[in-house]
A and B are shown apart, each in its own frame.
Chain A
Amino acid sequence: MSAACHDNPAPERGVATGLRRIALIGSPNAGKTTIFNQLTGLRAHTANYPGVTVTRSEGMAHTPAGRVAVEDVPGTYSLSAMSPDEQVVVDLLDGTLPGCPTPDALVVVLDATTLRRSLTLAAQAMARHQPTLVAVTMLDEHAARGGRLDLPALAEALGVGVVGVIPPSGEGIDELRARLDRPQDWAEPPFPPPADSEEQTAWVRSVLAAADYHAPRPDAATRAVDDVLLHPLWGGVVFVAVMFAFFQTIFTVAAPVQDTLQRGLGWLAEQVADHVGHGFVGAFLSEAVIGGVGSVLVFVPQVALLFLLIALLEGLGYMARAAYLMDRIMAATGLDGRAFVAMLSSFACAVPGIMATRTIGSSKTRIATILAAPLMPCSARLPVYVLLVGLLVPSGTRWGPVQAQGLAMFALYVLGGLSAMVSARVLRSTVLRGELVPFYLEMPPYRMPRLRSVLLSSWSSVRMFLRKAGTIIFGTAVVLWALLAFPTRDAETVGLDQAHASAYVLEHSYAAQLGRAIEPVFEPLGFDWRIDLGLVGAVSAREVFVSTLGQVWAATDPEDPSAALAEATYLDGPRAGEPLFSAPTVVALLVWFVYALQCMSTVAVMRRETGSWRWPALALTYLTLIAYAAAWLARLITLAVTT
Chain B
Amino acid sequence: MHPVAGPDAATVRWVVPHEPYAFLAAAAGHGALRELVADGTLAGVEALATCLQTRLGPERSWAAEADRVRAAVRAALEAQAPGCASGPCGSCPRSA
Contact = CB atoms under 8 A, between A and B. Distances in A.
Q: Do chains A and B make direct contact within the complex (CB under 8 angstroms)? A: yes
Interface of A: 129, 156-157, 159, 189-194, 198-199, 201-203, 205-210
Contacts of A191: 3, 12, 62, 66, 69-70
B13 to A, nearest CB: 9
B75 interface: no
Contacts of B63: 129, 192
14 contacts: A156-B4, A157-B2, A159-B3, A189-B3, A190-B4, A190-B9, A191-B66, A194-B70, A201-B86, A202-B74, A203-B1, A205-B17, A206-B17, A209-B17
Q: Interface residue tally of chain B, by bracket?
A: 20 to 34
B5 to A, nearest CB: 4
A207 B2 contact: yes
B6 interface: yes
Given A159-B5, A202-B1, A190 B62 contact: yes
Given A206-B15, A209-B89, A157 B4 contact: yes
B74 A208 contact: no
Contacts of A209: 17-18, 89
Contacts of A202: 1, 74, 85-87
Given A157-B15, A205-B17, A192 B86 contact: no
B43 interface: no
Contacts of B74: 199, 202
B86 A199 contact: yes
Contacts of B32: none
A433 to B, nearest CB: 39
A190 B54 CA distance: 12
B66 A192 contact: yes
B91 to A, nearest CB: 10
B2 A199 contact: no
B88 interface: yes
A101 B46 CA distance: 44
Contacts of A207: 2
A190 to B, nearest CB: 4
B79 interface: no
Interface in B40-96: 62-63, 66, 69-70, 74, 85-89
B88 A205 contact: yes
Q: What are the 3 closest A-B residue pairs judged by CB atoms, nearest first? A: A209-B17, A191-B3, A206-B2
